[in-house]
Amino acid sequence: MFGGGGGKSPVTWSPSYFPVLSRARLAHCPASPRLVRKSRGPHGVRRRESPVSLSRRSSSSCLRSRLSGILSPPARYTRWTRRSPGVGVTMATVALVLGVSLLFGWAPLGAGATSQPPNIVFLLMDDMGWGDLGVFGEPSRETPHLDQMAAEGMLFPNFYTANPLCSPSRAALLTGRLPIRNGFYTTNGHARNAYTPQEIVGGIPDSEFLLPELLKKAGYVNKIVGKWHLGHRPQFHPLKHGFDEWFGSPNCHFGPYDNKAMPNIPVYRNWEMVGRFYEDFPINHKTGEANLTQIYLKEAVDFIKKQQAHQQPFFLYWAIDATHAPVYASKSFLGTSQRGRYGDAVREIDDSIGKILKLLQDLGIKENTFVFFTSDNGAALISAPKEGGSNGPFLCGKQTTFEGGLREPAIAWWPGHIPAGQVSHQLGNVMDLFTTGLSLAGLKPPSDREIDGIDLLPAIVQGKVIDRPIFYYRGNEMMAVRVGQYKAHYWTWSNSWEEFSQGIDFCPGQNVSGVTTHSQEEHTNLPLLFHLGRDPGERFPIRVSSLEYKDALLRIFPIVEEHKRTLIPGEPQLNVCNPAVMNWAPPGCEKLRRCLTPPESKPKKCFWLH
């Protein structure tokens, strides 16, 4: 539908790994898998053949077949080393950027470029799970366009968020840094999930560099569509942090409120509000009807057309929230899926993404636009089945540091540069989008701070698999770490017995004795260890007395110790709440005559249940 590609696959795969899609029929794909081995010298980049179109049927069925056993990466990899503040970039990195520049027909800033760098589009979903896509085995066929996107691009089955909750994960994406570093955490309680509700005082600090701020140096025009969630007070406004345009909301679409105890959430166009949810932008809880996804689609389409007409490189951050409870969909999509309102919302999102990709094709800029699709955290199983998604074979969901809370669907699409039907074994993270975005623009990350995100271009362009750890944080605590195929839990906790007894369950139907604990259990001395290739559901801890356990921990312990030793936490932004800072009188309310009177200022410690 969007055009296809062909060529060699950069990775090895084998159905001998865990067969998550047992129903999938094994087929021979047009590409011959291979793995690029580690090289100590600069990364050489070869020009690829022009992609060959694949039909939707053949490409998607082939890709599904290859997914039958790739939940874990192969044993071979390029070694990961921690970036140190002030070091800058290595000669190998410089060589990679220059090589990629030649391949893609543009040069980095300052290199005498005559053509512009590629456009960048990040499609960030809200509470969408790994198992919500047909390409990962969801049987309802609600995502034909996303499945086609994967068939024409590169799928990342081992892609993670930086936190199992919305605000911290978005802060991590745009800064390339763990929430514990950029301040999006709380110290009001141990291992507590925190975010940015209306009464939050904090937000994204001025000390943090956001991706759009840095992209401006390369001439990019930047727009955010949808949910910001990094603070709603004036100093945290997205246009103060590098975005040139914004249409969307500072908070989630909760409500409706009475505008007395709490105001309805405003919707902004650029600097000023243009209305409020449930008033000017209706969301019908009874029917699930809302037209917001169509509005967000139009904003994206208009922005892309405008920037193409101006011949300016652009960064579009499309952060929509239809799959976050209360789930909504447009009237024409309601009742069209097999999974209730949630499935309807997924269908509309999929349709919208299909239209965005087709627009890039129709405008003739698909080969100069890098598109990446993922989600902010795992599916909210507490909202399932009517308003929550699927995390596939993984344990638990949003709010937890089990795989279902942080493993995300992820697809990279770039016709002409990514051959069709690719699957990468790279362990990826939303923080990598920061570093990869800079690399695409010919820029390097700030050297005065720790950057946790890695550049994914070696994985995308050369098929390299870089050995790097994944740290699972919940609030101020590192709960677990993944190194290779092994995941070690240093702490386990789903939610409290009190909440659980009230029907609040983050792991419905998935209780694993000694693992999905309802009290905070520490395993620092003897971490719970799982092999995610054999046991992606984290149900069978490896015996402490086994040689496998000892060998794995010998590799994991030094990585964890180095991380903790060098960690400098940022100032926590999610500690203080105050009803006076809620969205009573946002900029622009005067013009609409919609300003509300705030209550008396009463700062207090925010209380986070879990």
Residue 376, annotated as binding a ligand: yes
Task: Report the alpha-carbon distance of residue 250 to residue 260 in Å, rounded.
Answer: 19
**Which tokens hold the place of 492?**
């386990």
Of 251, 177, 188, the residue nearest 433 (C-alpha): 177
Beta strands of 430-475 (E only): which ranges?
466-467, 470-474
Give how far the C-alpha of residue 229 lies from the chain's centroid of Cα atoms, to the nearest Å: 14
**Which tokens hold the place of 438?**
């800079």
Residue 362, annotated as binding a ligand: no
> 545: Cβ–Cβ under 8 A, 6 or more apart, which residues?
none
> 568: Cβ–Cβ under 8 A, 6 or more apart, which residues?
181, 450
Of 445, 453, 491, 492, the residue nearest 469 (C-alpha): 453
In the residue annotation, 190 being an active-site residue is answered as no
| 3-class secondary-structure state, position 471 | strand
Task: Report the alpha-carbon distance of residue 221 to residue 231 in Å, rounded.
Answer: 22
Ordered alpha helix ranges (H), 105-165: 144-152
Longest dimension (CA), the chain: 70
Task: Catalytic residue, from 29, 43, 145, 229: name it.
Answer: 229
Start-to-end Cα distance in the chain: 44
Of 86, 101, 53, 3, the residue nearest 461 (C-alpha): 101
Task: Catalytic residue, from 29, 43, 62, 166: name it.
Answer: 166
Ordered alpha helix ranges (H), 190-291: 211-215
| 3-class secondary-structure state, position 492 | strand
Residue 344, annotated as binding a ligand: no
Of 87, 153, 89, 167, the residue nearest 124 (C-alpha): 167
Residue 351, annotated as binding a ligand: no
Pairing of strands 154-155, 422-423: parallel
Task: Report the alpha-carbon distance of residue 597 to residue 578 in Å, rounded.
Answer: 14
Q: Compute, in degrees rounded to 10, the torsion defined by CA atoms 146, 149, 154, 156.
A: -10
What are the backbone dihedrals phi and psi of residue 593, each rounded to the nearest 5 degrees, phi first? 55, 45
In DSSP terms, 528 is beta-bridged to: 489
Report the amino acid identity of residue 318. Answer: W
Task: Report the alpha-carbon distance of residue 586 to residue 560 in Å, rounded.
Answer: 44
Burial degree of 25 (CB within 10 A; 0-12, 13-18, 19+)? exposed
In the residue annotation, 606 being an active-site residue is answered as no
- CB half-sphere exposure, 259, CA atoms < 13 A: 11
What are the backbone dihedrals phi and psi of residue 58, each rounded to the nearest 5 degrees, phi first? -70, -40
Residue 377, annotated as binding a ligand: yes
Q: Which residues are annotated as a binding site?
A: 126-127, 166, 376-377
Q: Can you say which residues are annotated as belonging to the binding site for Ca(2+)?
A: 126-127, 166, 376-377
| Active site (catalytic) residues | 166, 229
